[in-house]
Amino acid sequence: MSWLSRVRNGIPFLPKRQSAETLWHKCRKCGTMVFLKEWEDNFHVCPRCDYHDRIGPKLRFEYTFDDGEYELLPSPEVREDPLKFRDSKRYSERLKAARASTNERDALLNARGQVGGRTAIVGAQDFAFMGGSMGIAVGAAFVAGVRAAIEAKAPYILYTAAGGARMQEGILSLMQMPRTTVALAELAEAGLPYIVILTDPTTGGVTASYAMLGDVQIAEPGALIGFAGQRVIEQTIREKLPEGFQRAEYLLAHGMIDMVVPRIELKTRLAALVGYLAPEKKAA
């Protein structure tokens, strides 16, 4: 009998339906076994090594909005599989599988609520949905989030998490880069702030467009942030790159981002930023 089974069997009040898998979480970085509840209470961050695990949009919203209360905004309807793409599977089948596993329409969701007592629109990408890849639906959701912010006269806050553009949509996915950039120009023209929180991982065309255009650039500790992978860059320039050169802390030290904020402190920091950048206007 393993030590894990002995611990489990030694807890007299443990319901039979529970098991070691529902009691413990194994940290992906340090391998430490942490009580699941302790890990969840710590915002899905390992209490031993401070590894920030990947989480989905709904947890992002819960951790960001005041009292965890928010209203999901509808996702725009877009044309699916415009290229009728197929590799080892049809693209339509991959979409169906991603929707079944995440219960979401696509990789970017928007929500409206209060952050520090002020209205804000918050978007969050889901890496679990086809690697958070940027396709037509993600571009449309981003534009919808920006326009909702303009309508509400509120800041747009975005959590990025993506492997880049969605290859199954070809050039149409790359067109989302200028499309989202134009939307941000509209937000800036309206005098509203755009705050980006870069999470692990943020790479490819997402990094090359809206992920790095924030008025304030924040990153979670240890987040992988870059365009091409380290191996590709090293093979191109034929030089060895510094250890961790695409991690949040390295980017902060070299001026590419403004701050690295632990998840447990992020809500407070965002509330302060919203207060600074989008203060309530006094009545005339």
- pLDDT digits over 45-96, tens only? 999 999 999 999 999 999 999 999 999 999 999 999 999 999 999 999 999 9
Write out pLDDT tens, residues 212-261.
999 999 999 999 999 998 888 999 999 998 989 999 999 999 999 999 99
Q: Is 21 annotated as a binding residue?
A: no
Q: Is 30 annotated as a binding residue?
A: yes
Asked if residues 168 and 94 have their Cβ atoms less than 8 Å apart, the reply is: yes
User: Percent of the chain, pLDDT > 70?
Assistant: 91
Tell me whether strands 156-162 and 33-35 are parallel, antiparallel or unpaired.
Answer: unpaired
Give residue limits of the domains in the chain.
Answer: 22-53, 54-277
Q: Which residues contact 278 (CB under 8 A, 6 or more apart)?
A: 118, 120, 154, 155, 192, 193
Q: Does 5 score more than 90 pLDDT?
A: no
Q: Does 122 score more than 80 pLDDT?
A: yes
Count H helices and E strands in the chain, helices first.
Answer: 12, 9
* pTM of the full structure: 0.90
CATH architecture assignment, domain 54-277:
Alpha-Beta Complex (3.90)
Q: Is 46 annotated as a binding residue?
A: yes
Phi then psi for residue 165, to 5 deg, are -75, 155
User: Percent of the chain, pLDDT > 90?
Assistant: 87
Residue 2: per-residue pLDDT: 60
Q: Is 105 annotated as a binding residue?
A: no
How many whole angstroms separate alpha carbon 180 and alpha carbon 140?
A: 8
Average pLDDT over residues 136-145: 98
Neighbours of 124 (CB within 10 A): 26
Residue 124: per-residue pLDDT: 98
